[in-house]
Chains A and B, each alone.
Chain A
Amino acid sequence: MTGNHGAAAEEARAGFRADGLDARLVVERGTRPGGGAAFRLDVTLTVAPGEVVALLGPNGAGKTTALRALAGLMPLTEGHLRLDGVALERTPPESRPVGVVFQDYLLFPHLTALDNVAFGPRCQGASKAAARAQAAAWLDRLGLAAHADAKPRKLSGGQAQRVALARALATHPRLLLLDEPLAALDARTRLEVRAQLRRHLADFEAVAVLVTHDPLDAMVLADRLVVVEEGRIVQEGSPSDIARHPRTDYIAQLVGLNLYRGKADGHTVRLDTGPLLTTTEALTGPVYVAFPPNAVTLHRDRPTGSSARNLWRCEVGGLETHGDQIRAVLTGELPLVADLTTVAAAELDLYPGAEVWAAVKATQTHAYPV
């Protein structure tokens, strides 16, 4: 899937395509009496047909604003929005070939699952019978034929999610928008629905943009990630690229890496915060250095004869369980996060305030230019 879309995505980014999505979304919001701060969203998106792009970012980054702007539910302050070569900036939402799966689905509570899905085709002018036939076909395709006559409140979270997807797809949109499509589900359903959604999105031939704050959802569902922070794009790329080369603390945290910025001179990087760090890559100029928390080894006493050249004196700031491991948050010379087994943590007698030595092998670090 990714391979197929990779070329298309490449082409899209170059801006040569007439089909797909090509948008610059600028939405400004002044300070509001309610206490909302002034906000400016400015993101540029180009997405090829068949490609799935995830807008990933923390709460309040402007992801949902971007999605609403794409759907026409929020006017653009400036910028443009072209879908398959057609300018849509001034088109009202009901006339845009856009389908939306809302975060809490917003299935019409007074209509059955079937009539919810038939709603779109009806609005597009299909007869009642034809609309229902189409809706039935969609429900069937999503494995919901048995629930066609159920009212939304009788559906489970996963079923409701699929009805919402069927409803959005039934209008044959050229742009499918999904707002936190899995956020409303419990952990177990989520796993299952995520896999299904991935399949349906893979089948979808037009542009799909999803918004999420969950990196796993983004990485499983999307071909390309667009990371949005404070209204602007901070990083863009394939899931694996982003996972390996985070460029902001937010992404590093998301993908579970320690990330630092510094200036490289050969194998040595002088971090912006002071300490030196040895890497395997030989680079010059501004770089990022990243290493995973499990690459860090902790010692109560300064290790002797260790091959690790990267050694810092730290203090335990906090401890938390992380899966079946203990995650130690360290402060001191170099703030970092280290993962260790419960046994190791017990042997080291770690407690908040304890002094430790943290070591990282150069081979476990990864440096890349800014």
Chain B
Amino acid sequence: MTPTDKAGAAPGTLRDGRRLRIRTGDGRGVPLPLLLPALAGLAFLLVPLAGLLVRTPWHSLPGLLAGAQVWQALQLSLICATAATAVSLVVGVPLAWLLARVEFPGRGLVRALVTLPLVLPPVVGGVALLMALGRNGIVGQWLDSWFGITLPFTTAGVVVAEAFVALPFLVISVEGTLRAADPRYEEAAATLGASRFTAFRRVTLPLIAPGIAAGAVLAWARALGEFGATITFAGNFPGRTQTMPLAVYLALQSDPEAAIALSLVLLAVSIAVLAALRDRWVAAG
């Protein structure tokens, strides 16, 4: 059981025969109406993962993972998710700042629109991206004829699709942090001669760095698992647009064992990255 207190060893130990006492940090008991749903929620999240682990064909795992395509897909996934996170940061942090700090008519509407990709089925998002940025899309046709850029079926297209679904997570997270941050620091900076941009760069940005980091992690995780928008907008070609989720999905069609093996790799890598990042930030904060 995870909830133990830091103060002593007494709570969490078995006493009175078989009763496990669970206590909060201040030594008070955890009320059952909170504990039971919490444990149910935890089980709900963990049991499917356990199922994955139990059904993993461990003996044939090395053979399944030996294929170059697995590592190619993993590498592509990591690169694209990171690039999509970078894109989200570059446009998302200023967007969050705009939503949090600047009053303009229709701000509520803009905020709702920003969160739209959250509720949009990703496949629809992919189709929408094709309509906008595809070879015949309303913007894409100009990209094509002026710069010779076509995004569908390219790695850049994967990044675009992932950024599209990941950006709202970052914007919402950063906006929340900005709203919680004291805007008077920006005023203090202004009285010291800092332009709004300088104040943002030298004061606000460092202050909300933890929030940005948290938003970036969310966005990265979302991008890493992205499937629908990616396969719809960027297609599926090994080494170019076939990310791990696509590889897993297609493997599932023909070889469920391989799909499980691939999922395991994706899980392991994301857990490793998230844990490493979290430790670093917790230590820094």
CB contacts (< 8 Å) of B187 on chain A: these are: 71, 73, 93, 106
A123 touches B192 (CB 8 A): yes
User: Which of B27-35, B72-80, B193-201, B275-283 is found at the contact surface with chain A?
Assistant: B193-201
| CB-CB contacts below 8 Å: B88-113 with A | none
Q: Chain B nearest CB: distance from A93 CB in Å?
A: 4
A41: CB under 8 A from chain B?
no
B10 within 8 A of A: no
Q: Which of A94, A99, A110 has the most CB of B within 10 A?
A: A94
Which listed residue, A98, A108, A109, A110, touches B191 by the CB 8 Å rule?
A: A98
B191–A100 touching, CB < 8 Å: yes
Which B residue sits closest to A96, measured CB to CB?
Answer: B191
B103 to chain A, nearest CB (A): 13
Known: A108-B203, A109-B207, A123-B198. A171 touches B188 (CB 8 A): no
Cross-chain contact B193 with A94 (CB below 8 angstroms): yes
Interface string of A137-170 (1 = CB under 8 A from B): 0000000000000000000000000000001100
Q: Are B203 and A120 in contact (CB under 8 A)?
A: no
Q: Which residue of B lies closest to A99 (CB)?
A: B191
The answer on a CB contact under 8 Å between B188 and A94 is no
Question: In the complex, how many angstroms separate the beta carbon of A164 from the nearest chain B beta carbon?
Answer: 9
Select from chain B the residue with minimum beta-carbon distance to A170: B192
Most chain A beta-carbon neighbours within 10 Å: one of B192, B202, B207? B192
CB distance B184 to A102 under 8 Å?
yes
Q: A168–B192 Cα gap in the complex (Å)? A: 7
Partner of A73, one of B191, B192, B195, B203: B191
- How far is A92 from B189 in the complex, measured between Cα atoms in Å? 12
Contacts of A72 in B (CB 8 A): 190-191
Say yes or no: B192 contacts A119, CB within 8 Å.
yes
B191's nearest neighbour on chain A, judged by CB, is: A100
Give the CA-CA distance A123 to B203 in the complex, in Å: 12
B205 nearest in chain A by CB position: A110
A355 smallest CB distance to B (angstroms): 53
B58 at the interface (CB under 8 A from A): no
- Bound CA–CA A131/B244 (angstroms): 51
Interface centre among A96, A102, A123 (most CB of B within 10 A): A123
A94–B194 touching, CB < 8 Å:
yes
A127: Cβ under 8 A from any B Cβ: no
Cβ contact of A120, chosen from B184, B193, B206, cutoff 8 A: B193
Interface pair A93/B191, CB less than 8 Å apart:
yes
Main secondary structure of the interface of A (DSSP, over half): mixed
Query: Restricting to A65-116, which residues have a CB under 8 Å from any CB of B?
Result: 71-73, 92-96, 98-100, 102, 106, 108-110
Closest chain A CB from B202 CB (angstroms): 7
Q: What's the Cα separation between A124 and B199 when bound, in Å?
A: 13
CB <8 Å contact, A102 and B190? no
Nearest chain A residue, comparing its CB with the CB of B202: A119
Q: Are B193 and A106 in contact (CB under 8 A)?
A: no
- Kindly provide the distance from the CB of B197 to the nearest chain A CB, expressed in whole angstroms: 10
Bound-state CA distance A102–B185 (Å) is 10
B185's nearest neighbour on chain A, judged by CB, is: A106
Q: Are A123 and B193 within 8 A (Cβ)?
A: yes
Looking at the assembled complex, report how far the CB atom of A354 sits from the nearest CB atom of chain B, in whole angstroms: 49
Contact partners of A110 in chain B: CB under 8 A: 206-207
Q: Is the CB of B188 within 8 A of A102?
A: yes
B207 — which chain A residues lie within 8 A by C-beta? Answer: 108-110
- Which residues of the other chain, A, contact B199 by a CB distance below 8 angstroms? 94
The answer to whether A106 and B184 touch across the interface, beta carbons within 8 angstroms, is: yes
Chain B residue at minimum C-beta to C-beta distance from A105:
B188
Q: In the complex, what residues of B have CB within 8 A of residue A95's CB?
A: 193
The B182-240 residues at the A interface (CB cut-off 8 A) are 182, 184-185, 187-196, 198-199, 202-203, 206-207
Q: How far is the CA of A131 from the CA of B192 in the complex (A)?
A: 13
The residue from B182, B194, B195, B196 contacting A119, defined by CB atoms under 8 A apart: B194
Q: How far is the CA of A98 from the CA of B191 in the complex (A)?
A: 7
The answer to whether A171 touches B192, judged by C-beta atoms less than 8 angstroms apart, is: yes
Q: How far is the CA of A124 from the CA of B191 in the complex (A)?
A: 11
* Complex partner residue of B195 from A94, A96, A109, A171, CB under 8 angstroms: A94
Minimum CB–CB distance for B203 against chain A, Å: 6
Q: Residues of B contacting A109 with CB < 8 Å? A: 207
* CB 8 Å contact bits of A163-194 with B (1 = contact, 0 = none): 00001100100000000000000000000000
Task: Decide: B189 and A119 in contact? CB cutoff 8 A.
Answer: yes
Measured CB to CB, the closest approach of chain B to A11, in angstroms, equals 28
| Bound complex: CA A167 to CA B195 (Å) | 17
Closest Cβ neighbor of A123 among chain B residues: B193
Residues of B within 8 Å of A93, CB to CB, are 187, 190-191
Cα–Cα distance between A307 and B56 once the two chains are bound (Å): 106
A102 to B187, CA, bound (A): 10
**Cα–Cα, bound, A264→B191 (Å):** 50
Chain B hits for A171, CB < 8 A: 192-193
Q: How far is the CA of A188 from the CA of B55 in the complex (A)?
A: 70
A100 & B193 in contact (Cβ 8 Å cutoff): no
Give 6 pairs: A residue, B residue, CB < 8 Å, sorted on A.
A93-B191, A106-B182, A106-B185, A108-B206, A123-B198, A124-B193
Interface residue ranges, B against A (CB under 8 Å): 182, 184-185, 187-196, 198-199, 202-203, 206-207
> 4 tightest A-B contacts by CB?
A123-B193, A120-B192, A106-B188, A93-B190
Name A residues whose Cβ lies closer than 8 Å to a Cβ of B: 71-73, 92-96, 98-100, 102, 106, 108-110, 119-120, 123-124, 167-168, 171
Given contacts A100-B191, A108-B206, 6 further A-B contacts (CB under 8 A): A92-B190, A93-B187, A100-B188, A108-B185, A109-B207, A123-B198
